[in-house]
Structure formats: structure tokens, C-alpha cells
């Protein structure tokens, strides 16, 4: 069983005492977990179908044709129509649909000309966008994309920045000077121009934007880790470890890195917020992910261009504000809980 040391437990307990940060963490974690299973909650495919005594699970299986269930269409079955048909016929046949029976790419022209206002009867709980796609579906799938981008970019950037920064602060000398000059030169490259050039010559993808943001995002953490490593390297416990013959790897990973983790933990929530904002801004400017990828920035652009349909801009702005506020509350709580002036560790 994995046991946390008393210092870490005190920090975690302190974090739990800061209620707005703790509850924001729980709520955001729940939203993230639910978004990972969005196909089971928001989808045009049925969860369960019972037809002539046999069960099928279209959401987990291959495409089921309409002719398999008595529909005239030879394409994929219309599960919403099938649900209504079975309900009218009575009997044992039934269809169980997700809570929101629309996928983020599907267009609905059955009612008024889009965009249509929120409707419970039409099961568009936040309405539709300008081409008839369900806004709630695109918000949830866009949230998953934004959070995935933010977390993956942060993890890779922090891994690179921590490794390079620790090496600069610990070894110093020519290596430190060389990397400093390299960072100074690379930081002068305009990020937005690089995005514009790459988008114009290649197809924008999720992987491409993660790579670009990592290329420009690792430098900030490098400076923090360099400073803290340089400071910790001069302390008595590191000198004692060197005198006892501890290897460089042990000194860095067992002694220095645990005492500099406060910087990583404190900055992580704010980096997540910055990454979400960056992707949303790029999508808003038309430099982000290719349509029809669900995106908060694309919805924001639609809302700005269609102010006479206030449900579009209201839904996406509320979602962005809610997520960024929760991330900010989490960051403030972590910063207070992991305050080095309150909890100090020297080993």
C-alpha cells in the first residue's frame, strides 16, 4: 500500500480546507470523467435495442442498417425514429437512447430553419447552431478536446522544462550559458506567425497544435526550475548528500526535485487555463482545428456573428467562464496549500 508522508498529508488536508478550490477540483474532475464517456451520454446511436427478442448495442458495435429493424433505408438506422416506432407499436421491442440523442456533427432540419432556440421537445436543450448541430453536444465534445489539449500540452512542456531547468541549475557552467542563449533566441520567434505559416501549408490537426505549443511552452517552466534547482543545490542537505557519495541522479530525483515540486504543482492549474484559452482563441480566429471538429472557439465565432440567437454565445461564454473560474480557484487553493513558507521540507 502506498503511504504518503506526513508533510504531503498536511498539504492535502490544507487544500481540502479551502472549500471553493476543493469543490471546484471535484466538479471539474467529474466533468472531465463524464466527457471521456460522452459517447454514452450524447450520441445519435442507441445504447440498447431489443428487436424480436435479440439485444444489440449500436453505440459499442459497428453500423446497424435500417433494413435490419424494418426501416426502408439501407443506410445506418435512424435510432430516434426507431424508438418512436417501437413506442407506437407497443410490444417487447424498445430502443434506449442517450440523454442527448444527437452527435456533435449531425444536422437537424426537421423544425425551423437553424439556428433554433433551446427546446425540450426537440431534445436540443441548448438549441442548435447555424447549420443545425446540437450546441450541447458540441460543447461537451469541445470541452473534452480543450481539456485534452491543455493537459497533454502541459504534461509534455513541464517534463521538458523540468528536465532542462534542473540540469541548468545543477550543472551550471557552459551548459547553463548555452541553454540560456538558446532559450533567448527561440523565445524571440513569434508564436502566432509560426501558427499562421504552418496552417497555410499543412492541415491543422490536434497533434500539430500540441507540438507547436510544446515547442513554445517549455521555456517558462525551465526558468523557474533552473532558479529553484540552483538555490536548492547550495543547501546543506545537498552538500551532505554529495559528501556521502550520492549519485547525481539520486541527488536530483530524491533530494532536489521533491523540494521544487511546489512550483510545478502551483503553476499547473494556471497553465491549463492558459492552454484552454490559447486553443479557443486560435479556433475563434480560424487558425485552429479543422471543421467540423467540435470547438469552443468556433461556437464563440458563431455566437458573435449571430447575436440575434443569444443561446449560442450565452452557452459557450458561460461554459468558458465556468471552467476557467474553477481552474483559477483550484490554482489559488493549491498555491495556498503548498505555500513553502507554511510547509518546508529539507531531507
Q: Are strands 94-96 and 54-56 parallel, antiparallel or unpaired?
A: unpaired
- Peptide bond preceding 292 in cis form (omega within 30 of 0): yes
> What values do phi and psi take at 15, rounded to 5?
-65, -40
pLDDT in tens, 104-121: 999 988 877 889 999 888
Decide if 146 contacts 133 (C-beta within 8 A): no
Helices 296-305, 135-171: axis angle to 10 degrees equals 130
Predicted structure pTM score? 0.89
- Residue among 243, 242, 265 nearest 252 (CA): 242
Decide if 296 contacts 320 (C-beta within 8 A): yes
Measured CA distances, 289 to 118, 280, 313 (Å) = 26, 10, 19
Over the chain (347 residues), what is each successive 10-residue block's mean pLDDT? 69 90 95 94 91 87 73 78 87 90 90 86 90 94 95 95 91 91 91 87 90 92 91 85 84 84 87 93 89 92 91 94 94 83 49
- Residue among 275, 265, 256 nearest 324 (CA): 275
User: What are the helix (H) ranges across 131-256?
Assistant: 135-171, 173-187, 191-201, 206-233, 236-243, 248-250
Q: How many CB atoms lie within 10 A of CB 94?
A: 15
pLDDT of residue 342: 60
pLDDT of residue 345: 45
**Residue 243 to residue 237: CA distance in whole angstroms:** 10
3-state secondary structure of 130: coil
Contacts of 165 (CB under 8 A, 6+ apart): 221, 222, 223, 224, 225, 226, 228, 229
pLDDT of residue 76: 80
- Peptide bond preceding 59 in cis form (omega within 30 of 0): no
3-state secondary structure of 247: coil
Decide if 120 contacts 72 (C-beta within 8 A): no
Amino acid at each position: 500500500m502506498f503511504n504518503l508522508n506526513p508533510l504531503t498529508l498536511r498539504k492535502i488536508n490544507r487544500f481540502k480546507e479551502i472549500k471553493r478550490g476543493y469543490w471546484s477540483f471535484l466538479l471539474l474532475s467529474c466533468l472531465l470523467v463524464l466527457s471521456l464517456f460522452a459517447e454514452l451520454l450524447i450520441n445519435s446511436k442507441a445504447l440498447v435495442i431489443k428487436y424480436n427478442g435479440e439485444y444489440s448495442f449500436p453505440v459499442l458495435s459497428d453500423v446497424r442498417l435500417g433494413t435490419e429493424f424494418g426501416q426502408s433505408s439501407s443506410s445506418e438506422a435512424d435510432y430516434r425514429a426507431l424508438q418512436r416506432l417501437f413506442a407506437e407499436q407497443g410490444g417487447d421491442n424498445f430502443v434506449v437512447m442517450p440523454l442527448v440523442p444527437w452527435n456533435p456533427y449531425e444536422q437537424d432540419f426537421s423544425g425551423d430553419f437553424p439556428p433554433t432556440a433551446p427546446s425540450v421537445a426537440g431534445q436540443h436543450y441548448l438549441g442548435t447552431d447555424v447549420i443545425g448541430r446540437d450546441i450541447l453536444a458540441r460543447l461537451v465534445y469541445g470541452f473534452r478536446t480543450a481539456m485534452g489539449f491543455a493537459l497533454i500540452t502541459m504534461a509534455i512542456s513541464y517534463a521538458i522544462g523540468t528536465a532542462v531547468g534542473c540540469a541548468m541549475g545543477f550543472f551550471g557552467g557552459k551548459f547553463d550559458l548555452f541553454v540560456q542563449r538558446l532559450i533567448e533566441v527561440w523565445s524571440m520567434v513569434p508564436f502566432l506567425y509560426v501558427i499562421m505559416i504552418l496552417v497555410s501549408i499543412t492541415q491543422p490537426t490536434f497533434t500539430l497544435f500540441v507540438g507547436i505549443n510544446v515547442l513554445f511552452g517549455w521555456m517558462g517552466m525551465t526558468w523557474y526550475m533552473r532558479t529553484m534547482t540552483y538555490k536548492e543545490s547550495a543547501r546543506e542537505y545537498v552538500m551532505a548528500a554529495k559528501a556521502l557519495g550520492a549519485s547525481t541522479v539520486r541527488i536530483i530525483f530524491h533530494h532536489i526535485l521533491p523540494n521544487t515540486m511546489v512550483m510545478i504543482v502551483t503553476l499547473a492549474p494556471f497553465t491549463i487555463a492558459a492552454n484552454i484559452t490559447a486553443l479557443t482563441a486560435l479556433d475563434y480566429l480560424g487558425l485552429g482545428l479543422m471543421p467540423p471538429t467540435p470547438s469552443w472557439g468556433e461556437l464563440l465565432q458563431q455566437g458573435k456573428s449571430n447575436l440575434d440567437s443569444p443561446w449560442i454565445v450565452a452557452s459557450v461564454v458561460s461554459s468558458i467562464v465556468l471552467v476557467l473560474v474553477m481552474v483559477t480557484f483550484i490554482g489559488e487553493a493549491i498555491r495556498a496549500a503548498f505555500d513553502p513558507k507554511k510547509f518546508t521540507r529539507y531531507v
